[in-house]
């Protein structure tokens, strides 16, 4: 019976684990719903921002904002967006693997990193990379105000010439079952890359495409074209950072929800197997006792 008691304890332990994973699944589902809503709501803003930039850029080419200037890439900054907590499937492993591939491939470029999330920071430290800044206290429902310090850091470092190019490594949300680890350049701002970025947000999302055919319209600028472009370009840079953090947040929560769902299902299957083993062990013990009783009665008679 000692074996039966061990199995019974294991069944109780797995049932308790299943309760935890089920609760985490429900919490992640609720967070994912909010994160997906915020992500989908921000996508039209990203598209509209690109249309405004395209329209204004077509008016004049005399003035060029520092964030639009391309330079020879010697020093690059990579923003790695990961999670602060684990138990989210392959979410962190996939994007960290993409960054490691980038490090191995771009050997001629001096790469530095900004870590957004504890998991990414820990991975970068393990492989000995230069981390210039770390942001590990962003809330689950981050707002543009929460993300502003990251955008300001990237803009300032690029404008001063500390880095010739800035990338963001994030996870693009497609659906609850699909997410794509992606590395995209955000500085200098390229009209072509911004267009491709906003058009490819969520590959299976239905909606109107970005309109690239702009009619010739006369504008009057107040206080002036340069002042407007300066504000607009910086806002678009910050908006891209915010959008990619929202995409990563939605991907993280969906990945955690699926991981906890799979864990709950695996716990249920384990409980069934242990229950079957417990019943077999108990039946074997009962059969043994009956055999001993029968043998004793036969020896008496």
Is residue 286 situated within a structural domain? no
**H or E element in which residue 27 lies:** helix 2-57
In a domain, 104, yes or no: yes
**Whole-angstrom Cα distance, residue 294 to residue 288?**
10
Neighbour count for residue 139 (Cβ, 10 Å): 8
Predicted confidence (pLDDT) per residue in 88-102, tens digit:
888 999 999 999 999
Q: How far apart are CA 72 and CA 257, in angstroms?
A: 43
Other Cβ atoms less than 10 A from the Cβ of 51: the count is 15
Handedness of CA 106, 107, 111, 113 (dihedral sign): positive
DSSP-assigned letters across all residues of 28-64:
HHHHHHHHHHHHHHHHHHHHHHHHHHHHHHTT--S--
Residue 166 lies in a domain: yes
Domain count, the chain: 1
CB 37 within 8 A of CB 72: no
Flag whether pLDDT at 298 surpasses 80: no
Residue 214, pLDDT > 50, answer no
**pLDDT interval class at 175 (50, 70, 90):** confident
> In the block, which residue shows the tokens 């509209």?
48
Q: Give me the CATH number covering residue 65.
A: 3.40.1380.10
Q: Which of 122, 117, 106, 125 is CA-nearest to residue 80?
A: 117
Using only C-alpha atoms, the chain has a radius of gyration, in whole angstroms, of: 28
Measured between alpha carbons, how far is 205 from 38 in angstroms, rounded to an integer?
A: 15
pLDDT exceeds cutoff 60 at 292: yes
Question: In a 10 Å sphere around its CB, with 0-12 CB exposed, 13-18 middle and 19+ buried, how is residue 275 labelled?
Answer: middle
Mean pLDDT of 33-57: 74
In a domain, 231, yes or no: yes
Specify the DSSP class assigned to residue 72. Answer: -
Q: Which of 164-168, 186-190, 195-199 has the highest mean pLDDT?
A: 164-168
Q: What are the C-alpha distances in Å from 277 to residues 6, 47, 60, 121, 132?
A: 11, 58, 78, 44, 55
Output the pLDDT for position 194: 53
Higher local confidence (pLDDT), 223 or 106:
106
pLDDT score of 62 more than 70: no
Among residues 187, 188, 195, 171, the alpha carbon closest in space to that of 52 is found at 195
In a domain, 238, yes or no: yes
What pLDDT does 86 receive?
A: 85
In the DSSP assignment, the letter for residue 213 is -
Residues near 72 by beta carbon (within 8 Å), at least 6 away in sequence: 164
Whole-model pTM: value is 0.76
**What's the pLDDT score for residue 228?**
72
Q: Is residue 109 part of a domain?
A: yes
Residue 158 lies in a domain: yes
Query: What's the whole-number mean pLDDT along residues 195-215?
Result: 51
Domain that holds residue 135: 28-255
* pLDDT band at residue 199 using 50, 70 and 90 as cut-offs: low
**pLDDT tens for each residue of 139-159:** 878 888 888 899 899 989 998
Q: Judge whether 141 lies within some domain.
A: yes
Q: Is 205 helix (H, G, I), strand (E, B) or coil?
A: coil
Average the pLDDT over each of 62-76, 153-167, 190-204, 275-289 and give the range with the smallest value: 190-204
């Amino acid at each position: 019976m000692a074996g039966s008691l061990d199995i019974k304890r294991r069944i109780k332990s797995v049932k308790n684990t299943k309760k935890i994973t089920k609760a985490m699944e429900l919490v992640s589902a609720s967070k994912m719903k909010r994160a997906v809503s915020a992500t989908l709501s921000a996508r039209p803003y990203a598209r509209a921002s690109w249309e405004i930039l395209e329209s204004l850029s077509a008016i004049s080419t005399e003035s060029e904002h520092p964030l639009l200037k391309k330079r020879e890439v010697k020093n690059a900054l990579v923003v790695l967006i990961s999670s602060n907590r684990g138990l989210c499937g392959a979410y962190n492993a996939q994007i960290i693997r993409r960054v490691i591939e980038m490090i191995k491939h771009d050997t001629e470029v001096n790469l530095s990193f900004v870590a957004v999330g504890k998991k990414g920071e820990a991975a970068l430290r393990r492989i000995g990379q230069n981390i210039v800044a770390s942001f590990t206290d962003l809330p689950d429902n981050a707002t543009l105000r929460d993300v502003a310090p990251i955008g300001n850091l990237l803009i300032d470092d690029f404008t001063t010439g500390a880095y010739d190019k800035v990338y963001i490594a994030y996870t693009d949300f497609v659906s609850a079952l699909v997410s794509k680890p992606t590395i995209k350049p955000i500085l200098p701002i390229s009209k072509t890359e911004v267009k491709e970025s906003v058009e490819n947000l969520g590959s299976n999302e239905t909606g109107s495409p970005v309109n690239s055919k702009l009619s010739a319209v006369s504008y009057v600028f107040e206080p002036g074209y340069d002042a407007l472009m300066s504000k607009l370009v910086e806002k678009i840079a910050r908006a891209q950072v915010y959008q990619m953090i929202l995409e990563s947040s939605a991907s993280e929560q969906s990945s955690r929800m699926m991981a906890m769902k799979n864990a709950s299902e695996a716990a249920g299957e384990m409980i069934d197997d242990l229950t079957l083993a417990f019943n077999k062990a108990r039946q074997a013990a009962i059969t043994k006792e009956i055999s001993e009783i029968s043998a004793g009665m036969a020896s008496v008679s």
